[in-house]
Amino acid sequence: MDEELPPNPRDDEKAFVGPIMINFSIPFINIDTVKLSDEDLNIAQLPQLLKLSNVKKVLWKYKAKIIGVDGSEILAEGEDNIKEPFIVLTPLEINAIPWSFTKIDEKALINLVKDLIPCDEGDGYFNPSPWERKALIEERWYHFRPGEITEKLNIHTKGYELAGYKIESNFYNPKFYFLNPFYIEESRYPISASSFVSLQSDSALSIISSDPFNMKFNLGKIEIESERPVYIIKSRRWNEIKPARISWDLKNNIIRLDCKPKYNVSIYKIEPSSVIPLYFDYKNEELLLILENFSDDDIISTLIFSGRIESATADGEELITEFDRVRIPIRRWGIKNVRIKIRRLIEPYLKRKIIA
């Protein structure tokens, strides 16, 4: 019997009765009851995450309407007797909550590649990032195009500078931008831990890893403690280098395949740059994607494939497809569950996708 994609959210139900913090799994499970602490309300995306988890009952010390950074609202029952609920905007306090992107299931992506692209005996390399990236392979840096599958590694590039234990900057009071659960936070005060921290003054200094690292900042001096490689990148503005994407790249390595691709193509591409995949799964010609718009603007995201899209839904609603692409509206900081039925292109169309 063919395996089926796991339902999303899953059928199991749980109750969290105190601090839930980052106990949200992907894909999101069903949660029956949540009892919130004040610390939980420091999660900027809390209302949206509770909605995605289909929470039936939310408890807090006060009756409240809790509003998240994306505009999601959720009602909490309180132990008090007030008639009108408090209006609570998350986060209550801006704190660093150590969090990193989930490592993508390589097996699912390999199955997608082999279903879409004819392979011969031999080896190949696949870039799981749906955008251009740099990757360190056997101590050399290479450039890859979005979702590229290739037989040869022949495009060398300049890599990222490995950060030392101590970094000297001349920043006295920069702004700090850092990755919190499903959100990029801004603070005027130094933060302690994150998967990336960008310091913005008259220029920017970004410190990035695949997983959270500890950081201290004092009078321009930065001290780092990390079990993973940490890189430092200088730029004019912090967001020019897209640090969230780089952290995602560092979490998800280039995939080595036992497949020599007949064509060098881009399996998939996502636009615009603010959209990042949180989750991939693929079985029986159906791709499940969880996408987030890491932006303050509502956008329409475009997904382009080297395949024929037969149907697509977002949060259960049908989308209009255009042969090899689909457009998905996503609100600011919104998270979308996307399902796409996709098949291999006939050879003449696939040849049009070849990367020179």
Task: For residues 261 and 321, state if they share a domain.
Answer: yes
Residues 204, 190: Cα–Cα separation, whole Å? 15
Residues 133 and 259 in one domain: yes
Paired with 313 in beta bridges are: 318, 339
Rg over CA atoms, the chain: 22
* Dihedral angle sign, alpha carbons of residues 24, 25, 29, 32: negative
Q: Which domain holds residue 50?
A: 8-93
Looking at the structure, tell me whether residues 263 and 145 fall in a common domain. Answer: yes
Q: What are the backbone angles phi and psi of residue 339, rounded to the nearest 5°? A: -120, 130
Going by pLDDT thresholds of 50, 70 and 90, the confidence category of residue 348 is very high
Helix-strand-coil percent breakdown of the chain, rounded to 5?
10, 45, 45
The Cα 290–Cα 237 span in angstroms is: 28
In the chain, how many domains are there?
A: 3
Instruction: In whole angstroms, give the CA distance from residue 352 to residue 345.
Output: 10
Specify whether the CB–CB gap between 73 and 66 falls below 8 A: yes
Task: Judge whether 98 lies within some domain.
Answer: no
Q: What is the pTM of this model?
A: 0.92
User: Considering 93, 118, 135, which residue would you say is the last residue of a domain?
Assistant: 93
pLDDT in tens, 47-86: 999 999 999 999 999 999 999 999 999 999 998 777 889 9
CB atoms within 10 A of CB 157: 12
Three-state SS at 305: strand
Which one of 44, 69, 93 terminates a domain? Answer: 93
Q: Is residue 288 part of a domain?
A: yes
- Whether the bond into 27 is cis, omega within 30 of 0: yes
- The pLDDT tens digits of the residues spanning 311-347 come to 999 999 999 999 999 999 999 999 999 999 999 999 9
306 three-class SS: coil
Contact 103, 253 (CB under 8 A): no
Q: Which amino acid type is present at position 116? A: L
Instruction: Report the C-alpha gap between 300 and 20 in whole angstroms.
Output: 32
| 1 domain-assigned | no
Do 160 and 232 touch, CB atoms closer than 8 A? yes
- Domain annotation covers residue 3: no
pLDDT of residue 154: 85
Pairing of strands 268-271, 299-305: antiparallel
Which of 4-13, 147-156, 340-349 shows the lowest per-residue confidence on average (mean pLDDT)?
4-13
Average pLDDT over residues 210-218: 97
Amino acid present at 287: L
Same domain, 53 and 81: yes
Domain presence at residue 124: yes
- Chain-centroid distance, C-alpha 217: 27
Q: Which of 251, 275, 294 is the last residue of a domain?
A: 251
Helices of type H across 123-264:
243-251
Rounded Cα gap, residues 98 and 83, in angstroms:
37
Beta bridge partners of 247: none
Instruction: Round to whole Å and give the CA distance between 2 and 4.
Output: 6
Condensed to tens digits (0 to 9), the pLDDT of residues 18-32 reads 455 556 778 888 889
pLDDT digits over 225-271, tens only?
999 999 999 999 999 999 999 999 999 999 999 989 999 999 999 99
Residue pair 36/58 in contact (Cβ under 8 Å)? The answer is yes
At residue 152, the 3 state secondary structure works out as coil
Candidate from 15-24, 129-138, 142-151 with smallest mean pLDDT: 15-24
| pLDDT in the model for residue 22 | 56
Q: What is the DSSP secondary structure assignment for residue 42, as one 8-state letter? A: G
Pair 177, 208 in one domain: yes
Average pLDDT value for the chain? 92
Residues 260 and 337 in one domain: yes
Q: 3-state DSSP call for residue 178?
A: strand
Tell me the torsion sign for CA atoms 60, 32, 73, 101.
positive
